[in-house]
Structure 1
Amino acid sequence: MSEDSAPRSNRFSRRGLLAAAGAIGAVSAVSACDSSKDTADSSASGGSGGVYYWLSHGTPGDPIWVIANNGATQAGKDLKADVRTSFFSNDVAKQKEAFTSAIAAKPAGIATSAPQPKVLDDLIAQATKAGIPVITFNSDTPTSNRLAYVGADLQLAGVTWANYLVDNDLVKSGDKVWLPVEAAGATYQVLETTGIKSVFSKHSITVDVFQAGSDPAQSLSAMQDYLTANKSSVAAVIGLGDLVMGNIQKAFTAAGIAPGKTPVVGWGNTKDTATAVKAGYVQAALWQYPDSQGYLPIALLKMLKDGLGAGYDIATTALYTKDNVDDYARFLK
């Protein structure tokens, strides 16, 4: 694999940051809220650690978001803070409405993922003007006034996947690579595809972005139908989201595609994908430490509340293959 295809390593260890955040935690009782709804949901009154809103564009049943939500909830417990988590299932209007409500509540900080490029920039500016720090996670909006980002460099993720296929001679000039995704047009799809195209354009390789949807059953059905009709023209697959990657083994089996026949790379934050790696259906997957994407934004916001500096980004990615899949599969249930 070429040098520029290697994923960025974490510049700060989670253990070190947690120790620092834990040391500044207050000692009064904690109330941490775990919302399973698609709209903002408030918890009980906050502890001495402050009130924080954690807003995700994802769906509450998506495995990566289950892990991330658990991380945010654990941060509330560890830091004696009131963490209010919400999911919006890629509904931009609902997320913006919840963000506006969060600003009005004057919390100690807001952590949010970006559902689409720049759509939250004005609200982040409003929060900043009101003295409320904002940290993004999972999908960034670097054009905004956010103070830090916790998550993968999504464009670099695309570069990593594309280079893996090219460097391992799994694709060639003239090939078409299929890019299934839950939500076409979402920030993660746009950035990841930009990275992929930056590599493939040099090799005359084309891509086909395919919206499979966010409903598990419907996305699996859509992927099966596409592969059944187009498997002969698909040279490789890059799954741009965890739901679609979790569908790979089932969709390939239904379409009659043997493991290893069509190379697959993409995200690897679910047990289904880890299993597919072991079985040979997926050649390489990126782990993005979803628990850290839940926990660390709250830890950073708590540090800011207590007068400590926290204006740096934290990269959370690691590539795994069949050789080291067990190092990551142990975190998945």
Structure 2
Amino acid sequence: MMRLKLAAGLSMLALPALAQDGRPVFYILSHGGPSDAFWVDWNAGATAACEQLDVVCNISFANGDFAVQKEAFNAAIAARPDGIATTAAQPGLWVEEVPAAQAAGIPVVFFNTDDSAIPRDAYVGADLRSVGRMWAQFLVDGGHVQSGDHVFMPVEVPGASYQTLETEGIASVFDPLGITYEVFDAGTDPAEVISRMSDYLTANEPAAIIGLGDTVAASIRPAMEQNGIAAGDIPAIGWGNSLAAAEAVRDGYLLAAAWQFPSAQGFMPVALLSLRASGQPIGYDIITLSLYDAGTVQPILDHYAE
């Protein structure tokens, strides 16, 4: 895997970033961290695509630092590659960069998190508003929440695109029914996330829990265990892109979990850029999402056992 190396003073007039052997060159920019379980799987898919499609990929991780990701994007534009794929985890983050790239003839594909207000060339990932609606409707249809109930919704980064869009979807179901909810800042450090969520459960008695991100969803079980809360005592749902979340579904701590096909989210942006580089049109979205429960979790567990 090649990491993006940022250089100061890159010119917007730089020559196209052609590989010495003439292969297409793509810059793939994630806002996440390379050790995060989701991004490990994603990276495996991205690197597999680069190898199978015989293209050169410069992959970088911003570790949640959007300034670093913006620097990487502008460095990519200056390098004049054949394509850029990036997450859009903060609303409006790419309002200047994407038009600049496209004006230079560089296609841009978003993945994992979308910003439909920006004219990207394609998107690979989940429709996050639909995910929020799906979670909320699951709890309502199953009789787990009703009017007057309060739902605990921990998240790693309040205000990030994924939290905002998921909450909009949840609100479209809960608000008309008089079900209240609280977006709770659990932080990003795994140990701190569990501690904060455990403290919340000590001080409050929510009717249900929705984990708005992968780290918080994987932390629902240990937070409940620290408070002596048995599996199923508090109905919970959320993301399931980790072994811990899949095991929590298997053992009843999560009723169900959403799966984003992380490796496909890595593979397909590279595939789209490769199609575009070969002269094929793109301009469509690829939705990577399913919901699994205790009856359908085994393939996810098998995946993590590989």
TM-score class, shorter: over 0.9
Shift in Å, 1:49: 3.1
Whether 2:258 is the aligned partner of 1:261: answer no
Which residue in the other structure is 1:198 paired with?
172
Q: What are structure 2's unaligned runs of at least 5 residues?
A: 7-17
How big is each residue's C-alpha offset from its partner over 1:144-178, in whole Å with a ceiling of 9 and x where there is no partner? 12110000000000000000000000001111111
1:287 aligns with 2:259: yes
State the SS of the aligned residue for 1:214: coil
- Work out which of the residue numbers 321, 324, 330 in structure 1 matches 2:293: 321
Provide the residue aligned with 2:9 in structure 1. none
The corresponding residue for 2:246 is: 274
Whether 1:252 aligns to 2:224 is yes
State the one-letter code of the partner of 1:157: V
Helix, strand or coil at the partner of 2:304: coil
SS in 2 for 1:65: helix
Cα distance in 1 between the residues matched to 2:190 and 2:58: 26
- Cα deviation for residue 132 of structure 1 reads 0.3
Summarize deviations over 1:121-155 as a string: whole Å, max 9, x none: 21111101010000000000111121100000000
Residue 53 (structure 1) aligned with residue 27 (structure 2): yes
CA contact (8 A) 1:139 1:152 kept: yes
Contact 1:49-1:302 at 8 Å conserved across structures:
no
Q: Within 2, Cα distance between the matches of 1:109 and 1:46?
A: 17
Q: How many residues align?
A: 295
Kindly state the Cα deviation for residue 46 of structure 1 after the two structures are TM-superposed. 6.3
Aligned residue number for residue 4 of structure 1: none
Q: Does 1:209 align with 2:183?
A: yes
Following superposition, the deviation at residue 327 of structure 1 comes to 2.2
Q: Which amino acid aligns with 1:120?
A: W
TM-score (norm 1): 0.86
Q: Compute the displacement of 1:256 (Å).
A: 1.3
One-letter amino acid of the counterpart of residue 114, structure 2: D
Looking at structure 2, the residues matched to 165 and 47 of structure 1 have their Cα atoms a distance apart, in angstroms, of 54
The 8 Å contact of residues 172 and 203 in structure 1, kept in 2 or not, is answered as yes
- What is the alpha-carbon distance in structure 1 between the residues aligned to residue 214 and residue 289 of structure 2? 14
| TM-superposed deviation, 1:97 | 1.0
Deviation of 1:329 after TM superposition, in Å, equals 2.1
Q: Does 1:158 align with 2:158?
A: no
CA offsets per residue over residues 200-237 of structure 1, 9 Å max, x none?
A: 0111011110111111122122112211222x2x1100
Map of 1:27 onto structure 2: none
Aligned to 2:13: none
Distance 1:247 1:46, change over 3 A: farther
Q: Report the counterpart of residue 3 of structure 1 in structure 2.
A: none
State the alpha-carbon separation in 2 of the partners of residues 309 and 331 from structure 1. 33
Please give the alpha-carbon distance, in whole angstroms, between the structure 2 residues aligned to 1:242 and 1:195.
17
Q: Post-superposition shift, 1:311?
A: 1.3
- The one-letter code of the counterpart of 1:143 is A
- Residue 21 of structure 1 aligns with which residue? none
Runs of 4+ in 1 over 2 A off after TM superposition: 44-49
Tell me which amino acid in the other structure corresponds to 2:57: V
SS in 2 for 1:140: coil
Contact 1:178 1:238 in 2 (8 A): yes
CA contact (8 A) 1:224 1:251 kept: yes
1:29 aligns with: none
Separation (CA, whole Å) in 2 of partners of 1:221 and 1:46: 51
Instruction: Work out the percentage of aligned pairs sharing the same amino acid.
Output: 48
Contact 1:113 1:138 in 2 (8 A): yes
Change (3 A) 1:330 1:46: farther
**RMSD over aligned Cα, in angstroms?**
1.6
Residue 321 of structure 1 deviates from its aligned partner by 0.4
The separation in 2 between residues aligned to 1:104 and 1:64, in whole angstroms, is 29
The gaps in structure 1 that reach 5 residues or longer are: 1-31
| Contact 1:47 1:81 (C-alpha < 8 Å) held by counterparts | no
Cα distance in 2 for partners of 1:107, 1:318 equals: 33
**Residues 268 and 285, structure 1, Cα contact 8 Å, conserved in 2:** yes
Q: Which deviations, in whole Å up to 9, do the C-alpha atoms of 1:44-76 show, x marking residues without a partner?
A: 956543111111111222111110111111111
Partner SS, residue 237 of structure 2: strand
Take 1:71 and 1:118, find their aligned partners in 2: how far apart are those partners?
27
* 1:1-333 pair list within 5 angstroms: 32-33=1-2, 35=3, 40-41=4-5, 48-230=22-204, 232=205, 234-333=206-305
Q: Distance in 2 between matches of 1:107 and 1:252?
A: 48
Per the alignment, do residues 41 and 70 of structure 1 end up closer, same or farther by CA in structure 2, a change over 3 Å counting? farther
C-alpha contact 1:121 1:141 (8 A) present in aligned 2:
no
Matching residue's letter, 2:142: N
TM-score by length of 2: 0.93
Counterpart amino acid of residue 69 in structure 1: N
Alpha-carbon distance in 2 for matches of 1:141, 1:65: 20
